[in-house]
Amino acid sequence: MDTVTYPDHHVAHFIEEHFVPARVRTKDDPELLKEYMVAWTPNIVVTDDQGKVHYRVEGFLQPQDFVAKLSLGAGRYHLNRQEYDQAAERFEEVAERHAGTDAAAEALYWLGVTNFKQSHDPGQLRPLWDRLAEEYPDSDWTKRSKVPM
Amino acid sequence: MTAIAEQVAWQTLPQAKERAAREGKPVLLDFSAAPV
């Protein structure tokens, strides 16, 4: 991550715009590994100011893929805080800019959820999940959207 | 932390939590630098 992903200026800019970045020296504080359930690195955790975990990115990712995952993480953070406009902004960005990727499929799933949570209208959910099934028929996120009736 | 990683302005976790509360942003907590 330090040789490829973090030095990428798009990654650095995205982090500075959407996050407060913290790095822990695990040798100095091994209790944090237990607290955040870190068994392997790279391991990037999206938390709030109380330390509650909202998203996790595990394993090495190339810069573009990492930005997509971080944007999903920011979206989940805002969704959990019922900040729906900010959440939708993040998910829409991933769905459009990273079209064709696993991250975009995940973004469409959560964009549907966000729209439903905001409006309480199932009609705001179904078009997004229909688009998910059409564009990403083999995605795990499409399978998750198939709710038995 | 290596010199090449300094494009990202890493903070300590307590500093980051305080700033996150102030700015309404999530904390990106990175464990990748240290071997487990």
The CATH number assigned to the domain holding A78 equals: 1.25.40.10
Model confidence at A83: pLDDT above 80:
yes
Q: Is residue A118 part of a domain?
A: yes
**What ipTM was predicted for this assembly?**
0.90
pLDDT tens-digit readout, A9-31:
999 999 999 999 999 877 777 88
- On whether any CB of chain A is under 8 Å from the CB of B4, the answer is yes
> What's the pTM value of the predicted model, to 2 decimals?
0.91
> Treating both helix axes as pointing N-terminal to C-terminal, what angle do A102-119 and A126-135 enclose, rounded to 10 degrees?
170
pLDDT tens-digit readout, A30-47:
889 889 999 888 899 999
Query: What range does the domain containing A93 cover?
Result: 9-144
Q: Is residue A3 part of a domain?
A: no
- Residue A65 burial (10 A CB sphere; 0-12, 13-18, 19+): middle
Q: How many domains does chain A have?
A: 1
Residue A73 makes CB contacts below 8 A (sequence gap 6+) with A46, A54, A55, A56, A57, B26, B28
Selected residue of B10, B27, B36 to mutate for chain A interface (largest A Cβ count, 10 A): B27
Q: Is residue A101 part of a domain?
A: yes
With CA atoms as reference, the chain B residue closest to A34 would be B36
Residue A93 makes CB contacts below 8 A (sequence gap 6+) with A71, A107
Q: Is residue A100 part of a domain?
A: yes
Q: Is residue A2 part of a domain?
A: no
Query: Collapsing DSSP states into helix, strand and coil, what is residue A54?
Result: strand
